[in-house]
């Protein structure tokens, strides 16, 4: 997730491309459309519910193609790879899979370079249910890795908020999302735990977990057309200055 001013196979790719070639385009479109509609209609839907498997030799070769401190290339939505990787559901991963540590290192290097607050593995070409989330609700805003995350509960209360995406260069848009969630994920010791998350961090979790089901914020935004990045940054800067001025006025009135 990209919000700079707010602090701000079994190789899946091969399977998908085989699937893509083998299937007539109309049928393919219908399948993708159904996946997207399913993703939109049921916020908590996980598609598909696969058993976790370790990274394949082809996935490991891709991850180990560069050193652990080397960022991945981002998969962008307006490219042929983006249309497949970003729109396909990702597979569950075993938490003790060889290579997960290198995947994490390279994803962290990517998030750092992109100055984002969250990243999902399919955004770097790895079709697995793995995300990074900056926990702005914790001291020091640590970036943490989550394996097989799933939202198990959504609050009825919702709010609009601006979102961007490292895979969507077109711009930013407002998305209505529940303000609180419960998220389940697998810990490294194999335990599956559930945690309540609120506010901005809950929004990041929802955005990243959407990626694992092939859903982009574009599917949920009420902003049409998107606000280009330079205009978005200018708007946030204006808001910041206005808030500062208001604070000065308030202080002067005391
Ligand atoms: Ni994103």
Q: What domains does the chain contain, in order, with CATH numbers?
A: 25-253 (3.90.45.10)
Measured distance CA(188)–CA(182) in Å, rounded: 19
Give the Å distance between the CA of 228 and the centre of ligand 1: 16
Mean pLDDT of 208-219: 97
Can you list the pairs that 42-45 forms with residues at least 24 positions away whose Cβ atoms lie under 8 Å? 43/151, 43/154, 43/178, 43/206, 44/150, 44/151, 44/152, 44/153, 44/154, 45/213
Give the Å distance between the CA of 208 and the centre of ligand 1: 6
Q: What is the pLDDT of residue 248?
A: 84
Lowest mean pLDDT, pick from 110-119, 175-184, 243-252: 243-252
Q: What is the pLDDT of residue 98?
A: 97
Give the Å distance between the CA of 214 and the centre of ligand 1: 10
Confidence grade of residue 34 (pLDDT, cut at 50, 70, 90): very low
- Record the tokens describing residue 142, joined without a space: 């640590």
59 has a pLDDT exceeding 70: yes
- Could you give the C-alpha distances from 101 to 69, 158, 159, 184, in angstroms and in order? 11, 35, 35, 20
1 has a pLDDT exceeding 90: no
Give the Å distance between the CA of 238 and the centre of ligand 1: 25
Give the Å distance between the CA of 131 and the centre of ligand 1: 10
Measured distance CA(206)–CA(179) in Å, rounded: 10
Active site positions, annotated: 208
Mean pLDDT of 46-66: 88
Confidence grade of residue 30 (pLDDT, cut at 50, 70, 90): very low
CB-based contacts of 206: which residues, under 8 Å, 6+ apart? 43, 151, 177, 178, 181
- The model carries a pTM of 0.81
Q: What is the pLDDT of residue 251?
A: 73
């Amino acid at each position: 997730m990209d919000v700079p001013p707010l602090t701000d196979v079994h190789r899946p790719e091969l399977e998908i491309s085989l699937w893509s070639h083998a299937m007539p385009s109309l049928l393919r479109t219908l399948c993708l459309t159904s996946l997207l509609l399913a993703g939109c209609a049921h916020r908590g839907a996980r598609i598909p519910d696969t058993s976790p498997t370790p990274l394949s030799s082809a996935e490991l070769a891709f991850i180990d193609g560069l050193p652990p401190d080397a960022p991945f290339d981002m998969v962008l939505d307006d490219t042929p790879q983006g249309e497949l990787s970003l729109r396909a559901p990702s597979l569950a991963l075993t938490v003790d899979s060889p290579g997960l540590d290198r995947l994490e290192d390279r994803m962290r290097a990517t998030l750092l370079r992109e100055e984002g607050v969250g990243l999902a593995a399919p955004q770097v070409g790895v079709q697995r249910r793995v995300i990074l989330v900056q926990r702005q609700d914790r001291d020091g805003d640590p970036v943490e890795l989550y394996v097989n995350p799933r939202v198990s509960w959504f609050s009825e209360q919702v709010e609009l908020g601006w979102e961007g995406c490292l895979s969507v260069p077109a711009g930013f848009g407002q998305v209505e999302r529940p303000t609180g969630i419960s998220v389940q994920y697998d810990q490294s010791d194999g335990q599956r735990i559930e945690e309540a998350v609120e506010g901005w961090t809950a929004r990041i979790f929802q955005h990243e977990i959407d990626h694992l089901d092939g859903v982009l914020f574009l599917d949920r935004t009420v902003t049409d057309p998107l606000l280009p990045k330079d205009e978005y940054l200018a708007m946030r800067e204006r808001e910041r200055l206005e808030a500062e001025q208001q604070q000065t006025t308030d202080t002067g009135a005391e």
